[in-house]
Amino acid sequence: MSPFKSLWVSLRALFRPRAAESELDEELRIHLEMEIEHNIAQGMSPAAARRAARVALGGVDQTKEASRDAWGWRILQDFWRDGGFALKSLRRTPGFTVIAVLTLGLGIGVNTVMFAFVRDTVLRPLVRDESLGLTTIYNSRAGADRDFRHSSYAEFETLRESTDVFADVAASFYSIEAVGVKNDLHRRLIGIASQNYLSLIGGRPLHGRFFNTAESQLEAAIPVVVANHSLWQRLGFPANFIGSTLRVNQRDYTVIGITPRGFVGEHVSIGPEIWLPFGEAHFYRDQSLRSTELHALGLTARLAPGLSIETARARLPALDERLNDRALPEDDGPRHLVLAPPSRADLGSSSPNNESYLNLFALLSMGLSAAVLIVACLNLANMVLARGAARRKEIAIRLSLGASRGRIVRQLSTEGLVLCLLGSVAGLLLSVWADSGIYQISLQVFSTSNFTLGVSPFLDGSMMSATVVFCLIATLASSVGPALRITRPNIVDDLKQTRSGGTGSAPWRRFFTLGNTLVIAQIALSLALLFSAALFVRSSLGAKSMDLGFQTADQLVANLDYGMTDLSDPAIARQQQALLARLTPLAGAGNVALASDVPYNFELGYHPVFPAADAAPISLDQAHDGRSYAGFTAVSRDYFSLLGINVLRGRTFTTAESTEPDGPGVAIIDQSLARSLFGDRDAIGQRVFLGEEAAASGDLARSLEIVGIVRSPRDHVFEDAAPARIYRPLGQAPESNIYLHLGTSEPQRRAPTIRRELQAFDPATPVLFIRPLSSFVENNVNSLLVKLAALIFGIFGGIALLLAIVGVYGVKSHAVTRRTREIGIRMALGAHPREVMGLILRQGALQTLVGLMLGTALSLAASRALASMIYQATQTDVLALIVSGAVLGLAVLLACYLPARRATRVDPATTLRSE
């Protein structure tokens, strides 16, 4: 039989109405002939082709040899046979196969990407902390609310002696310094650590070694460095990196080791670029670590054998007593120790109560990605149901030949498994590509920041196992249920190509069929995902358009570190003033200023500020009652006008105050600090102490007069409010590491010219970078996290929208095909095409309405969980919900309209003749 004749016989057998009981033998003969001819064309002998055809069509007369085989081998043979038949079946419907594989690939790929994120940022660190028994130690003032601080070196030594609680204690602290090779230096975060720190937290050198005892002795001054793997990668993996030289500020250091890939210390995502031993601890505020007044050390400990954090906390009161017995008179009262999981604490944070944010983000990411997989599975289940309905006659013939329902379900489930395996391969490839792309983008982003990225994607057994799990979930969700549904025995109706109960059942039962219910569930979940994406997109737009409190347009920032020169402090001050005089004619009056930090650069230092009492001296307890912490910045005269920071009351600094170190002490504060210190009183003319030492002296001559109040500029995205700020004139508070602000049009284009001008003026002072001020805001890690979240969840929402459209269109298109006879009869009886279209659109609109109602409830529940993670988001963002519902509703109605329009073009005469 020729292929064309086989196709014609198949079509006739499929569409021609007949009595199933009288012509069953003819149906069987036609299908057997087609299957036999196909097998012979594949190279089988006639006998083998006939036997394989009967087995493929579900016959029970399988070879006796197979029944005598071992049970396991028989299962493998059956799976191999079912898989081969599934591949042939799927190859005959390439459109269905491609759409199903892409649908599952998207769902599984998204979940694999999110699993890789959770693995690297949550699971791996938690497993490490649990296996090593790690904890972070904080020091809190007794009776204070969230008054946490780091420890002194003396406290570190005391805790190392406490072997009943801690098996080992290590210390570290961080500083931002100039790091690089030769004259190519960049401001980067460096870590200074005790000898046992890197090994305590599970680090093993990838190459070389870590610090030894001699290098870790205080003030040993042995210039060695352990480099982070990312630095080695950025330099091109030089083979001679161990033993080479890195420059930190003005000193050369020998590289003795390289950390493993992704290792950034006790934290999970960002960390320092290099590690120095305690013998090089002079970086922090130019103070010796032996100073009892310096509380800079972050402590990480390994608990004593058999102890958990809970049991260790019960033993802390005894340690508190030992620390308080050794406290100095100037210490701010009794303190007690606090333990927290190390990988959940923020870098350099003084509060251990922020570990829940990362867990929440990971949980919600996995939840939303799981919702994408559910939508994909619902979509595929609907497609399988539609395809199964078209194959009901084939299934009825198999059942008539004697195949059991379980045998057919196994065959259909195997087809679903094959689809899911293909989808898993596509999803795994998608996830590897997406992980690599996100990682490369992240590397570019972090190349302009002070931090080193610790998370790096890799394909391992856990990622493969996760993909297999997602594949099995997709198989069970999208194949087994529909297979059981479409194999319910109703052979006579299926062979007649009729639907029993289709018109006589109740309307609500016809509306809530399995296919329609799956469509409603798709719409509901898609709305929740689309609404979540809208929240993050609005958050990103809000962060981009928020009022910073200062201007970023048409400004360049250059970093010059005079601490890397041999100049004295007075000489540095003179050189800075000469620089301002040199650049003023080039940029114009008022377009040049110097400052000790840049907003959004993570370098804002905080100091305690105390209102000065009218009578001196004041007690330290009184000072603590009235103190506030404020970000400190030393600036030149034109700083406020250049950055557009409005002066609300009072004045800015004079030329004399900006240049002379011996004048009366003055300060400018922002409105937030003025309200905190003085309430409703006018702050102009009031006096404050900056620092505990000045406040404890009570000497009003050491206090500062407030001469101006300015707006409160922001310093990062996630602030509920701008931090309190205090400004000193640069002449009275000289800084060696300085930032030059220069107003200029087209800042990116003029950067090389300004660099040459700076180097010509002072070749001895390195220019660490020169960048537009706007780049600090755009490339800030927090800003990029907001954008990345908007991108990721935007993709989730887009995928959900696409899957909803495809799913609704497929179901409606199949429904129109199955109702072709009914539509033809209606039109033959005089129904207008508009009435036919309205009939189909009404059902689609009602399904959409029910789905949107359910989706609204899911969206409101999701928004409550997302509100704490989204910048300027409310728990009920009505606009985002309305826009998301409108977009999804219009898209779904369009997917309903296309099949409805096709239904109006049915030719009644042709339809009735075919029946």
Residue 264 maps to a domain: yes
What's the pLDDT score for residue 416?
77
What's the pLDDT score for residue 402?
64
- Alpha-carbon distances of 217 from 299, 300, 896, rounded to whole Å: 17, 19, 75
Structure tokens that stand for 657 in this block:
């105050």
Per-residue DSSP letter, 2: -
**The CA-based dihedral angle spanning residues 541, 546, 548, 552, taken in that order and rounded to the nearest 10 degrees:** 50
**The CA-based dihedral angle spanning residues 781, 783, 787, 792, taken in that order and rounded to the nearest 10 degrees:** 50
Residue 183 clears pLDDT 60, i.e. is over it: yes
Q: Which residues of 36-67 are buried (b: 16+ CB within 10 A; e: fewer)?
A: bbbbeeeebeeeebbbbbbbbbbbeeeeeeee
What percentage of the chain has pLDDT greater than the value 70? 73
Residue 14 clears pLDDT 50, i.e. is over it: no
Per-residue DSSP letter, 259: P
**The CA-based dihedral angle spanning residues 754, 760, 764, 766, taken in that order and rounded to the nearest 10 degrees:** 20
What's the pLDDT score for residue 623?
47
pLDDT tens digits, one per residue of 323-379: 777 666 556 667 778 887 776 544 344 443 344 555 666 677 777 777 787 777 777
- The larger pLDDT score, comparing residue 771 to residue 379, is at 771
Report the alpha-carbon distance of residue 481 to residue 475 in Å, rounded.
Answer: 9
Residue 821 maps to a domain: yes
Per the DSSP assignment, residues forming a β-bridge with 595 are 635, 739
Residue 127 maps to a domain: no
Highest mean pLDDT among 54-63, 422-431, 682-691, 830-839: 682-691
What's the pLDDT score for residue 68?
42
Residue 621 clears pLDDT 80, i.e. is over it: no
Q: How many Cβ atoms are within 10 Å of 507's Cβ, its own excluded?
A: 7
Report the alpha-carbon distance of residue 655 to residue 209 in Å, rounded.
Answer: 53
What's the pLDDT score for residue 203?
82
Chain mean position to CA 591: 39
- Alpha-carbon distances of 193 from 213, 339, 346, rounded to whole Å: 12, 20, 17
Question: Could you tell me if 370 and 353 are in contact, meaning their C-beta atoms sit under 8 angstroms apart?
Answer: no
Same-domain status, 836 and 897: yes
Same-domain status, 202 and 287: yes
Do the bridges between strand 737-743 and strand 555-561 make them parallel or antiparallel, or are there none, so unpaired?
antiparallel
What's the pLDDT score for residue 512?
63
Same-domain status, 424 and 313: no
Residues making up the chain, counted from first to last: 915
Chain mean position to CA 318: 41
- Nearest Cα residue to 337 out of 80, 141, 537: 141
**The CA-based dihedral angle spanning residues 591, 595, 601, 605, taken in that order and rounded to the nearest 10 degrees:** -160
Same-domain status, 718 and 754: yes
pLDDT tens digits, one per residue of 529-572: 888 888 877 777 777 777 788 888 888 998 888 877 778 888 88
Report the alpha-carbon distance of residue 635 to residue 1 in Å, rounded.
Answer: 93
* Confidence band of 434 (pLDDT split at 50, 70, 90): confident
Residue 100 maps to a domain: no
Amino acid identity for residue 183 in this structure: N
What's the pLDDT score for residue 873?
56
Chain mean position to CA 287: 38
Residue 493 maps to a domain: yes
Residue 417 maps to a domain: yes
Highest mean pLDDT among 6-20, 354-368, 692-706, 899-913: 692-706
* Confidence band of 481 (pLDDT split at 50, 70, 90): low
Report the alpha-carbon distance of residue 543 to residue 786 in Å, rounded.
Answer: 8
Q: Taking the model in full, what pTM does it have?
A: 0.69
Report the alpha-carbon distance of residue 759 to residue 583 in Å, rounded.
Answer: 12
Query: 3-state SS of 281-327?
Result: HHHCCCCCCCCCCCCCEEEEEEECCCCCHHHHHHCHHHHHHHHHHCC
Residue 90 maps to a domain: no
Q: How many Cβ atoms are within 10 Å of 814's Cβ, its own excluded?
A: 19
Show which of 36, 57, 78 is a domain's final residue: 57
Show which of 757, 775, 793 is a domain's final residue: 775
- Nearest Cα residue to 138 out of 289, 262, 299: 299
pLDDT tens digits, one per residue of 435-455: 777 777 777 666 667 777 766
Instruction: Please state the rounded mean pLDDT for residues 836-847.
Output: 78
Count up the domains in the chain and report the number.
Answer: 4
Same-domain status, 769 and 858: no
Same-domain status, 162 and 286: yes
Question: Which residue range forms the structural domain that includes residue 727?
Answer: 555-775
Count of alpha carbons within 13 angstroms of residue 643, beta-carbon side: 28
Same-domain status, 750 and 646: yes
Report the alpha-carbon distance of residue 854 to residue 668 in Å, rounded.
Answer: 55
pLDDT tens digits, one per residue of 606-618: 888 888 865 444 4
Same-domain status, 803 and 747: no
Residue 864 clears pLDDT 90, i.e. is over it: no
Per-residue DSSP letter, 162: -
Kind and range of the H or E run holding 139: strand 134-141
- Alpha-carbon distances of 907 from 11, 816, 820, rounded to whole Å: 19, 14, 10
What's the pLDDT score for residue 352?
39
Question: Could you tell me if 101 and 109 are in contact, meaning their C-beta atoms sit under 8 angstroms apart?
Answer: no
Report the alpha-carbon distance of residue 886 to residue 530 in Å, rounded.
Answer: 11
Same-domain status, 860 and 742: no
Question: Could you tell me if 683 and 706 are in contact, meaning their C-beta atoms sit under 8 angstroms apart?
Answer: yes
pLDDT tens digits, one per residue of 667-709: 999 988 888 888 888 889 888 888 777 776 777 778 889 999 9
Structure tokens that stand for 643 in this block:
């950055």
Identify whether 334 is preceded by a cis peptide bond (ω within 30 of 0): no
Q: How many Cβ atoms are within 10 Å of 669's Cβ, its own excluded?
A: 30
- Nearest Cα residue to 772 out of 791, 749, 806: 749
What's the pLDDT score for residue 666?
92
Residue 794: partners with Cβ closer than 8 Å, 6 or more residues away:
533, 536, 537
3-class DSSP state of 188: strand
pLDDT tens digits, one per residue of 99-128: 778 887 888 888 888 887 777 777 777 777
Residue 87 maps to a domain: no
Instruction: Please state the rounded mean pLDDT for residues 140-168.
Output: 77
Report the alpha-carbon distance of residue 733 to residue 731 in Å, rounded.
Answer: 6
Q: Dihedral of CA 498/503/505/510: which sign?
A: positive
What's the pLDDT score for residue 870?
66
Same-domain status, 741 and 813: no
Instruction: Please state the rounded mean pLDDT for residues 222-250.
Output: 88
Same-domain status, 537 and 674: no
Show which of 775, 807, 842 is a domain's final residue: 775
- The larger pLDDT score, comparing residue 879 to residue 28, is at 879
* Confidence band of 426 (pLDDT split at 50, 70, 90): confident
Tell the residue number behind the tokens 């660490």, with chain if given.
768
Same-domain status, 813 and 854: yes
What's the pLDDT score for residue 907?
66
What's the mean per-residue pLDDT of the chain?
A: 75
* Confidence band of 186 (pLDDT split at 50, 70, 90): confident
